[in-house]
Amino acid sequence: MTGPFLLLAALVIWAAAAALDIVLGAKRASARLVAYGAGVVGSALVTTAGVRAVLGATRVVDLGTTLGVGTTSIRLDPLAGLFLTLTGGLGVAISACVLSWARPAGRLGGRGTGAGYLLMLGAVSVVLVAGDAFTFLFAWEALTISFYVLVGIGRRDEDEARSAWATLGFGKAGGAALLFGFLLLAGQAHSNLFAAWSHLPGGSLHDIAFALLVVGFGAKVGIIPFQVWLPIGYPAAPGPIRAAMGGLAVNAGFYGLWRFLGVLGRPPVWLAVAVLIIGGVTALVGIVFATVQSGLRRVIAYSSVENAGIILVGYGVALAGAAARAPGVMAVGLLAASLQVLAHAVAKSSLFASSAFFESDLGTDRLEEIRGVGHRYRLSGTAFGIGSLTLAGLPPTIGFVSEWFLLEALMQEFRIHVLALRLGMALAGALVALTVGVALLCFIRLVGFVVLGPSTTPPTSTEATLDGGAAGRAGLVVMATSCLALAATAPWVVRFIAYGIGPVVPAHIVSGALRSPWVLQPVFANFSILSPSWLFVVMPVLLGAVAVSALALSRGKLLRIRRVPAWRSATAGAAGPDSYSPYGYANVLRHVLANVLGTRRTVVVSSAKSQSSPAHAHVEVQTTVVEPVEAYLYRPARVVWLRLATGAKRLQSGRLDAYVGYMLVALLVLLTLAVAVK
């Protein structure tokens, strides 16, 4: 079967299953699981279509005016195939996890969750193969609606309603930016086909349209100042569906950036510099706020902001290369960003999916209350730990490979002779280096306390022993092992990515990253090399050598059990779980970056054990942080908007002649703008 036919079959299966979910609801287990079984089957078909598109010839299906709005075109080329492969592969694993997670009664209520999930899968797939503006925007808006449905489906409280509206609002804002950018390009080319836009000359309209597209796609992936919806939107979605939103659907935004870099060609220098700086700031802000959160869902959501910033920095390097007409720099930047997209997708999906199982059983996501889950949830705890190490950028995971490539790409700034671009890359490199250091603090905290720490909560049900069920365990194994296997097979992964991004950067330039079958380099020879495959051989050998040497030098005493008092971060009067905690671990960052985080501390004396010994009083320090973008941008803007809305209410009961006057003024303004644009 051809790629378009496989994709059509997947869409038909998802549409039928979504209709059944809406009709039957979620009361019966058999009806509840149909949608996610269809997700597994359809995603497998999409994966097959994606691999064929990467390795085969480009296929274009011209539907003419079938949809009644301009010319409709479906394009399956290697770039679309690359993201279809990632979408389909993750769709299979995540759907399997949701299949197991949704089996117990009570976790999903009402109807529409499965339909919203399948709508999201279908919308992402159509975005990836759209060859014209109308089809792309139609699928993009469907993706926004699916996010709104999945975030607000529970309708548990007022905060969830706010999360749903914020998700919808930022999605519509990004869609509006894309719409205006597309209108500028279509007006110049007199066509809504993307292929016609690749021949447009440079100029102010071209540059403005390019910037609007970066803003539109950036709002979806969560760059500053649009990142505030991620920490409230992702946590509100049910169970492993958060993995589909944060690890799968977000890639549609990165695909859009890649696609239109290939379509529009050379960007303006100021846009490349802005992307580099905004990406670096986004990464640092995201990881700093992730480190000081007390809820696991918000930690993972804020880390998505960090990863979006890191990916955007790699994309900024590619923009700098394109602006300076340096194809080698463009290639290494886009390769590094693509590897980071891959690492983020598998690791973030693993974190969201694995945490959903033990969070649902324990009834909370507070770090202080879910410590040591790895002792009881062996598989999901292991998957969570591997995903955390991947996002921390530690070897031998794919996260280490992608971050190494990104830092090496930033070091190529000396090959560019435009001073503004060189300064932008240098500043972005400093921000990324600082981000990587804070990321170690963030994810080591998760591994040390959530996975390996002493358990503080007794088992609450027999469901915990299942650790996700058969399908869920299979999905977790696929995602966790991918974090390691992709690094072990990095040379072949680079080859596959080189084919995939061929429509943007010629594959032979990207293939310069392959110094030999086992050794990688940042496209340019004689600069730096890395062999992720050999790390899987060298690291165990070195570990074994150190263990044997330590055992021999200690004459066997290394294995002797020694019992000593545990080190505490608090005073000698603190005992039990209060002696050291995830909250206390992050306090250093709260104090060091107090000016950035807006840290506020309140000391409360809760109780006193003895009137004669005030030293035994229990003192509680309450610390809060403030997100500056929300506090100093959106809250004041909200006040202004509400005042304008209050004033506009007077127009609702005005006179007819006044309304005619308003329409006349608006028409004159539009005509003036149209003449000015021409």
Task: Convert the pLDDT of each residue in 274-332 to its tens digit.
Answer: 999 999 999 999 999 998 888 899 999 999 999 999 999 999 999 999 999 999 999 99
Spatial separation of the C-alpha atoms in residues 456 and 476, rounded to whole Å = 24
Cα 647 from chain centre = 39
Mean of pLDDT values over 230-240: 89
Of 336, 552, 534, 343, residue with least CA distance to 443? 343
Mean of pLDDT values over 542-555: 88
Q: What is the dihedral of CA 382, 93, 161, 626, to 10 degrees?
A: 40
As given in the structure block, the two tokens for residue 114 are 């499965």
Of 397, 576, 412, 606, residue with least CA distance to 484? 397
Of 239, 202, 206, 253, residue with least CA distance to 114? 239
Tokens 């071209």: give the residue. Answer: 206
Between 637 and 584, the more confident residue is 637
Mean of pLDDT values over 399-413: 93
Contact at 8 Å (CB) between 503 and 78? yes
The answer to which of 68-77, 145-154, 189-198, 500-509 has the lowest mean pLDDT is 68-77
Mean of pLDDT values over 77-97: 95
Helices 490-500, 469-488: inter-axial angle, 10-degree rounding:
90
SS3 of 71-95: the string is CEEEEECHHHHHHHHHHHHHHHHHH
How does pLDDT run across 188-230, given as a tens digit for each residue? 888 889 989 988 888 889 999 999 999 999 999 999 889 888 9
Percent of the chain topping pLDDT 70: 88
Confidence bin at 62 (pLDDT 50/70/90): confident
Mean of pLDDT values over 628-645: 80
Mean of pLDDT values over 228-233: 89
The answer to which of 362-376, 428-442, 469-483, 487-501 has the lowest mean pLDDT is 362-376
On the question of pLDDT at 12 being above 90, the answer is yes
Spatial separation of the C-alpha atoms in residues 182 and 213, rounded to whole Å = 8
pLDDT at 10: 94
Confidence bin at 566 (pLDDT 50/70/90): low
Mean of pLDDT values over 42-60: 92
Between 210 and 69, the more confident residue is 210
On the question of pLDDT at 605 being above 70, the answer is no
Between 350 and 198, the more confident residue is 350
* Inter-CA distances, 588 with 134, 306, 413, 438, 533, Å: 50, 20, 34, 11, 36
Spatial separation of the C-alpha atoms in residues 265 and 322, rounded to whole Å = 7
Between 415 and 575, the more confident residue is 415
On the question of pLDDT at 610 being above 50, the answer is no
Neighbours of 160 (CB within 10 A): 18
pLDDT at 253: 95
Spatial separation of the C-alpha atoms in residues 44 and 6, rounded to whole Å = 9
pLDDT at 110: 67
Mean of pLDDT values over 105-130: 88
pLDDT at 466: 58
pLDDT at 155: 66
Of 357, 350, 343, 361, residue with least CA distance to 384? 350
pLDDT at 457: 59
Spatial separation of the C-alpha atoms in residues 392 and 386, rounded to whole Å = 10
pLDDT at 331: 95
pLDDT at 652: 64
Between 109 and 49, the more confident residue is 49
Spatial separation of the C-alpha atoms in residues 442 and 298, rounded to whole Å = 12
Mean of pLDDT values over 537-551: 89
Contact at 8 Å (CB) between 284 and 332? no
Q: What is the dihedral of CA 267, 268, 274, 280, to 10 degrees?
A: 40
pLDDT at 516: 84
Question: Which H/E stretch holds residue 623?
Answer: strand 617-624
* Average pLDDT taken over every residue of the chain: 86
* Per-state percent for the chain, helix, strand, coil, to nearest 5: 70, 5, 20
pLDDT at 402: 94
Burial 326-358 (b: 16+ CB within 10 A, else e): bebbbbbbbbbbbbbbbbbbbbbbbbbbbbbbb
SS3 of 630-649: the string is HHHHHHHHHHHHHHHHHHHH
pLDDT at 647: 74
Confidence bin at 2 (pLDDT 50/70/90): confident
The answer to which of 313-322, 564-573, 591-600 has the lowest mean pLDDT is 564-573
Helices 3-24, 29-55: inter-axial angle, 10-degree rounding:
160
pLDDT at 433: 93
Confidence bin at 111 (pLDDT 50/70/90): confident
Percent of the chain topping pLDDT 90: 49
Confidence bin at 564 (pLDDT 50/70/90): low
Mean of pLDDT values over 377-400: 92
Between 53 and 369, the more confident residue is 53
Confidence bin at 173 (pLDDT 50/70/90): very high
Spatial separation of the C-alpha atoms in residues 353 and 482, rounded to whole Å = 14
